[in-house]
Chains A and B, each alone.
Chain A
């Protein structure tokens, strides 16, 4: 049903254009395939309040049955960096069970994903990259949804590790 994702995204968009929680802003939603969102973190010294991080949401036609693909993107104007986090690789790929078919629920939406990632960053105490980051970034050719992430806590936690 191709109409399903567009109808749902239309609704989400109109809601997002109205109100969004603090620190989350919609950058652009040119079509119903790819949206860009900015988030900033309050109350965590690792992430200075003036720094903002950009995320790209890509939706497949079977969204929301299927999870969207969410990655951090870096750019120069305006300057956006990839946040330092033990579950975010330096190429922007996020290891988060929420974005995997196992942890995803069709009830989630762009807003709730943003809130989850925001709180994941806010609660972080380690200013570091995941183990094996350099190797992963160099060798990974897969799309995020095809990577076999290994979640240390299968329930809710953001975990580390990849199963190759």
Chain B
């Protein structure tokens, strides 16, 4: 067969072209009868590996009709035309498929094969096989849904799936699908202001309130109890209303009327033992009555002192009744209710798995993202807040693409702890054979005299020096097994240390360079003004410096983490591709960095070159991120640690 490995790509067009490229025409004919013809030619192919559409240009050029009409046209051809015309029509298709295959091969060279289950490499000779392959492919549902199941990182509330494959082959949507796609390393997210979050809560409360026929404040307590899982709450409520109310802290009503501040004759407060006439008091529906002062002090202590809000219980002993917002409003001043609502908002965001506060200091926004905890081994969900801070939704650390959270954690821990000190010791020192003091040989001959115990021994064989006789300074004694073993372990420690240092030095270097670049960034504006006056450039024209500076920082950030990532990467072919990408990005970044530091008078001459480099850097950055993210998603990377193991 002319085409190599026809089964590597499962995309529908490629699939069909495989069939077409093979000699037995009868298959092709049977195929025409069974299926619409349209899929094999101009239909832009969604390449799952690249996340974008590959358009078969050769085939597309043969067609000028829009896809929809073309489909119909081809349909009529296939149903009405005699076999001869169909076979004649197959020729260009076949050529087209070859060009397509070439494209695919090119893509394949840079990208991993997508995991696929349907196509085997052996030729398909029976109609049944063709049929089965086509049908499972054509209707897409099975194959795609199984993939979609695993790959569904989509936000619950968002309408865009993380991996939005054109599952139903809707030709009308072609225009839309041709738009530049979301890259594999990008993830859908939304930024919410505190007002948005409050509104979200209110909406949910209002919705559930009408359903459960409970007042708003009680519904809010119920929802907080159910951690804002509406469906679960409603289900539980329908199953056992009393039980849910009781557990949520709304049970055991002894009075029906809503709580209000009252003055009751003969009342004595159980907290302060006050019983004077005209003592104002309040009791929630549980009937436990306390004076307003005690209540206030109690609430103040809970809210301000303990930071409690969602589950402040009635002060009564063993009473489970939760203080509702309405009673609270009756009792305390606005500064405390503000704090109370702030705390409630915090618990709301904390309770929702798809919401997180932006970790940037003083930032008030929260981010919504649909990536679940269990997905974190296969995606690095980097989100950007409206305050411009970009961080990882999984671990809320600053952006650490392309390195998955688990590795980041491991790496930071490794850098912080002393685990490599031990390695250094075993790589560079030996123990005195007599007193076991640790000795580092820092020069000189092999005749060692331990400073502690005055033991004289040979550094090479660790044997007693006196036995060396005349072979001074040159140990030629027979290698004992133990000596070899000891040296092996030493070599291993040394290797492990060197490996770590290799990655750490580069990681640290980029971290430092990024910091320096940041300094430069602050000087950029000055530089830009300088350049503006030095040359005849306008403000707009010197913007390239800022862009270059931003590109530098972003790329360094990524490079930094690629080294942490690479440290944990097991060695295989994928690693080499990764390292190539990494190298390319690094070279581009260093070039740009060098240009960036040039004196101002030379900068205007470098403008075009710098702009090119900036674009190039950004492109290389996207390649590294996209490629890494895709393989992470497909589970292609092999790590020398277990990502699922908690640190």
Query: Are A and B genuine complex partners?
Result: yes
- Which A residues contact B (CB, under 8 angstroms)? 1, 4, 7-8, 11-12, 62, 64-66, 101, 105-108, 112
Q: Counting CB contacts under 8 A, is B294 at the interface? A: yes
**Given A105-B317, A108-B317, A65 and B297 contact (CB-CB distance below 8 Å):** yes
Going nearest first, the 9 A-B pairs with the smallest beta carbon separation are A11-B273, A105-B317, A106-B271, A107-B317, A106-B315, A65-B301, A107-B270, A8-B273, A65-B297
Q: Counting CB contacts under 8 A, is B293 at the interface? A: yes
Q: Which residue of A lies closest to B313 (CB)?
A: A105
Q: How far is the CB of A147 from chain B (nearest CB, A)?
A: 16
User: Can you add 15 more A-B contacts, CB < 8 Å, to A4-B294, A8-B271?
Assistant: A1-B293, A1-B297, A4-B297, A7-B272, A8-B273, A62-B297, A64-B272, A65-B298, A105-B316, A105-B317, A106-B298, A106-B315, A107-B316, A108-B317, A112-B317
Q: How far is the CB of B315 from chain A (nearest CB, A)?
A: 5
Cβ–Cβ < 8 Å partners of A65 in chain B: 271, 294, 297-298, 301
Cβ–Cβ < 8 Å partners of A106 in chain B: 270-271, 290, 294, 298, 315
Give the distance in Å from the alpha carbon of A64 to the alpha carbon of B294 in the complex: 9
Q: Counting CB contacts under 8 A, is B418 at the interface? A: no
Q: How far is the CB of A104 from chain B (nearest CB, A)?
A: 9
Binary per-residue interface labels of chain B (277-300) against chain A in the complex, 1 for a CB within 8 Å, 0 otherwise: 000000000001010011001100
Give the distance in Å from the alpha carbon of A108 to the alpha carbon of B271 in the complex: 8
A8 B272 Cβ-Cβ under 8 A: yes
Cβ–Cβ < 8 Å partners of B335 in chain A: none
Q: Counting CB contacts under 8 A, is B547 at the interface? A: no
Q: Which residue of B lies closest to A112 (CB)?
A: B317
| CB interface residues, B 129-166, toward A, < 8 Å | none
What are 12 A-B pairs at a CB distance below 8 A? A1-B297, A4-B294, A4-B297, A12-B273, A62-B301, A65-B298, A101-B306, A106-B290, A106-B315, A107-B316, A108-B317, A112-B317
Q: Which residue of B lies closest to A5 (CB)?
A: B272
Cβ–Cβ < 8 Å partners of A1 in chain B: 293, 297
Give the distance in Å from the alpha carbon of A6 to the alpha carbon of B427 in the complex: 69
Give the distance in Å from the alpha carbon of A45 to the alpha carbon of B264 in the complex: 49
Q: How far is the CB of A102 from chain B (nearest CB, A)?
A: 9
Give the distance in Å from the alpha carbon of A7 to the alpha carbon of B275 in the complex: 11
Q: How far is the CB of B280 from chain A (nearest CB, A)?
A: 15
Q: Which residue of A lies closest to B270 (CB)?
A: A107
Q: Which residue of B lies closest to A15 (CB)?
A: B273
* Most-contacted residue by chain B among A1, A62, A66, A107 (CB, 10 A): A107
Q: Counting CB contacts under 8 A, is B274 at the interface? A: yes
Q: Which residue of B lies closest to A155 (CB)?
A: B318
* Chain B contact surface mostly: loop
The count of residues in chain B whose C-beta lies closer than 8 Å to any C-beta of chain A is 18
Give the distance in Å from the alpha carbon of A122 to the alpha carbon of B510 in the complex: 66
**Given A65-B294, A65-B297, A4 and B315 contact (CB-CB distance below 8 Å):** no
Q: How far is the CB of A30 from chain B (nearest CB, A)?
A: 21
Give the distance in Å from the alpha carbon of A11 to the alpha carbon of B315 in the complex: 19
Q: How far is the CB of B267 from chain A (nearest CB, A)?
A: 15
B273 A107 Cβ-Cβ under 8 A: no
Cβ–Cβ < 8 Å partners of A101 in chain B: 306
Give the distance in Å from the alpha carbon of A106 to the alpha carbon of B318 in the complex: 11
Give the distance in Å from the alpha carbon of A144 to the alpha carbon of B319 in the complex: 25
Give the distance in Å from the alpha carbon of A22 to the alpha carbon of B297 in the complex: 34
Give the distance in Å from the alpha carbon of A12 to the alpha carbon of B290 in the complex: 17
Give the distance in Å from the alpha carbon of A106 to the alpha carbon of B289 in the complex: 12
Q: Which residue of B lies closest to A105 (CB)?
A: B317
Cβ–Cβ < 8 Å partners of A107 in chain B: 270-271, 288, 315-317
Cβ–Cβ < 8 Å partners of B315 in chain A: 105-107
Cβ–Cβ < 8 Å partners of A7 in chain B: 272-274
Q: How far is the CB of B394 from chain A (nearest CB, A)?
A: 26
Cβ–Cβ < 8 Å partners of B294 in chain A: 4, 65, 106
Q: When the two chains form the complex, which single residue of A4, A105, A108 contacts B272, counting CB atoms closer than 8 Å?
A: A4
Q: How far is the CB of A99 from chain B (nearest CB, A)?
A: 14
Cβ–Cβ < 8 Å partners of A108 in chain B: 317
Q: How far is the CB of B279 from chain A (nearest CB, A)?
A: 13
Binary per-residue interface labels of chain B (563-588) against chain A in the complex, 1 for a CB within 8 Å, 0 otherwise: 00000000000000000000000000
Q: How far is the CB of B78 from chain A (nearest CB, A)?
A: 71
Cβ–Cβ < 8 Å partners of A8 in chain B: 271-273
Binary per-residue interface labels of chain B (299-315) against chain A in the complex, 1 for a CB within 8 Å, 0 otherwise: 00100001000000001
Binary per-residue interface labels of chain B (28-41) against chain A in the complex, 1 for a CB within 8 Å, 0 otherwise: 00000000000000
Q: Which residue of A lies closest to B271 (CB)?
A: A106
Cβ–Cβ < 8 Å partners of A11 in chain B: 273
Give the distance in Å from the alpha carbon of A144 to the alpha carbon of B315 in the complex: 22
Q: How far is the CB of A143 from chain B (nearest CB, A)?
A: 16
B318 A105 Cβ-Cβ under 8 A: yes
Q: How far is the CB of B237 from chain A (nearest CB, A)?
A: 23
Give the distance in Å from the alpha carbon of A4 to the alpha carbon of B274 in the complex: 9
Q: Which residue of B lies closest to A4 (CB)?
A: B272
Q: Which residue of B lies closest to A10 (CB)?
A: B273
Cβ–Cβ < 8 Å partners of B316 in chain A: 105, 107
Give the distance in Å from the alpha carbon of A109 to the alpha carbon of B367 in the complex: 46
B274 A64 Cβ-Cβ under 8 A: no
Q: How far is the CB of B554 from chain A (nearest CB, A)?
A: 41
Cβ–Cβ < 8 Å partners of B318 in chain A: 105
Binary per-residue interface labels of chain B (246-273) against chain A in the complex, 1 for a CB within 8 Å, 0 otherwise: 0000000000000000000000001111
Give the distance in Å from the alpha carbon of A12 to the alpha carbon of B273 in the complex: 9
Q: How far is the CB of B422 from chain A (nearest CB, A)?
A: 26
